[in-house]
Structure 1
């Protein structure tokens, strides 16, 4: 049948658990609600992530009331529903030591909840109205609080290829959630086909959907894939140990890569089961199944 969308996930709070959906709207900065909230240090506004706080993986945010509220849940503590305030008190924040401007603080109740659950003095912030942040790469695009790109795409073939190597070395396979992808593709012919996709267009239910993505850069990986996303505990050294044997990126300080990051060229709606029409980097020729323009 070719390449299709196997799974869709957005992550309301950067670094916390994701929400799997059957369909989702896509705007300039990616899937709706994806990484529109972020946890920051209460003093200096530096973002916090699973790199330093792996327990964030076990925090389960849920967008409720049509996007007007956020429910926060974690084992061992009472849930909290926070009224979303896109015009909250302006707070300066930074990502990777780079200021990204003033964003909307979400109040003391959310700050106290996260501080208690994660054991540090923290604040919850949201992308404010008019927030404008550039990505980078082949197609930069726009981005909310994701590291630097709107959408992360991973293929099932890439995970299967990685797990085959892990098992051959005597290890246990890892689940897809370790890589925190927004879009999981099924039907790719080879592992890491997503690296070579210059453009992706999505067709569903007999029509060409408006969504089109363009490649930005391969996804460089840190320690986060070694965190068990269900428990919030580090469970390394896999998959990073095995990735280091065949996915080093000399142009990026020999970091390992897995998956591809993309910018949104056209927004619209994505759904599980959508057909993916890809244009490839090698020769620039379009996928032969792509409809004539």
Structure 2
């Protein structure tokens, strides 16, 4: 049996919990509804992340009515149901210190809810109509409020290989959600085979290699509780997944751009053109 789509997940609010679905539409900037919303500092508009605010992981957003309504829920905070405002007041926002233009503020109730849950003054924003942000890498593509790329793709083989190493060292295995992928692949021939995938076709969609996914502190956050649970898996990744070309950061998974928009489903066959078919591996210096 060849490769298949094992799981599809979109993350409505950047940094918060994801929604797993059986079928998803891939648009130019990623899976539908993925990272369309973002929590920002109420004063300067800089984005909030699990890197510094791990409690975001335990916030469970739910997109309703085709994106016209957003339900927010977190233990101890109760739920809030918002009518999404796609064209209201705009405020300037930034990611990693870089301004990305204006976003649509979603109002005071959402701001108060997130401020209470996260314990710091925050506001919720949505991508504005006509938002156009470039990714980077071999195929840059477009991206909403994701860090820098439309999709994160990882394989079960990579997770199994990592967990075998963690357990061999006496640790406990980690679930795939620590890496917050959009697409999980089953049936890869070897761990990290996705690193070498140049073009990936699933359903009627096609994706292209942007860059290997460099990992930060987020994989050390328990995605169910919003609490740090490190040092794994980063400690073990550091023993065999250092990337000299990327400041010795560790990698897990593939960042990809949407080359052809379309629909894909769990169970779909996946076809991939790999590096080695005449194309260089972008993770290696040019000779």
Q: Fold match, TM over 0.5?
A: yes
Equivalent position of 2:267 in the other structure: 273
In structure 2, runs of 5+ residues without a counterpart are 280-287
What corresponds to 1:252 in structure 2?
A: 246
Aligned counterparts of 1:259 and 1:190: Cα–Cα separation in 2: 13
TM-superposed deviation, 1:281: 1.0
| CA distance in structure 1 between the partners assigned to 2:99 and 2:31 by the alignment | 24
* Equivalent position of 1:31 in the other structure: 31
Q: Compare 130-139 and 61-70 and name the one that shifted more.
A: 61-70
CA distance in 1, matches of 2:160, 2:178: 13
Match of 1:264 in 2: 258
- The whole-number CA distance in structure 1 between the counterparts of 2:5 and 2:139 is 22
Q: How many pairs does the alignment contain? A: 279
How far off is 1:101 after superposition?
0.3
Distance in 2 of aligned mates of 1:184 and 1:48: 25
Specify the SS of the correspondent of 1:199: strand
SS at match of 2:240: coil
Which whole-Å CA distance do the structure 2 matches of 1:124 and 1:88 have between them? 12
From 198, 212, 233, give the equivalent of 2:227: 233
Q: TM-score, normalised by structure 1?
A: 0.94
Q: CA deviation at 1:66?
A: 2.0
Shift of 1:96: 0.3
Structure 1 alignment gaps of length 5 or more: 203-208, 286-293
Deviations 1:57-103 (A, max 9, x none): 00000001221010000000120001111112111000000000011
Tell me the equivalent position of 2:93.
93
Measure how far apart 1:284 and its partner are: 3.5
1:47 aligns with 47
**What is the CA RMSD across the aligned residues, in angstroms?**
0.8
Runs of 4+ in structure 1 off by over 6 angstroms are none
The whole-number CA distance in structure 1 between the counterparts of 2:137 and 2:98 is 17
**2: CA distance, partners of 1:66 / 1:143:** 20
